[in-house]
Amino acid sequence: MKAITIRGIEPEISEKLKSTAAKQGKSVNQLTLEIIREGLGMNKEKKRLREYDDLDDLFGRWSEDEFKEIDSKINRERQIDPELWK
């Protein structure tokens, strides 16, 4: 791979690159490459080509109504009862 030097980067841009890279847990080089790829329309997005359902016959599937019912029960259980924590 080639190395390219970019000259004339303003201090504000440099600091923004450093802080953004740190927040995302990346190096400045990784972040810069991602920005360049995105700007050139060359994003490497992982595309899921197939939705796997090969175990559905074994384990079954929830209908939309069943999912909503189970999800609402789980959400109710996640609520903290202040009386228990006094």
Against a cut of 0.75, is the pTM above it? Answer: no
The C-alpha R_g of the chain, in whole angstroms, comes to 24
Q: What is the pLDDT of residues 28-76, one digit of tens each?
A: 999 999 999 999 988 876 666 777 777 777 777 788 999 999 999 999 8
Tokens of 6: 């970019």
Structural contact between residues 42 and 34, judged by C-beta atoms closer than 8 angstroms: no
Which pLDDT score, from 0 to 100, does residue 35 have? 94
Side-chain half-sphere of 12: how many Cα atoms within 13 Å?
0
Per-residue pLDDT band for 80 (boundaries 50, 70, 90) equals confident
Residue 61's contacts (CB-CB under 8 Å, 6 or more residues apart) are 53
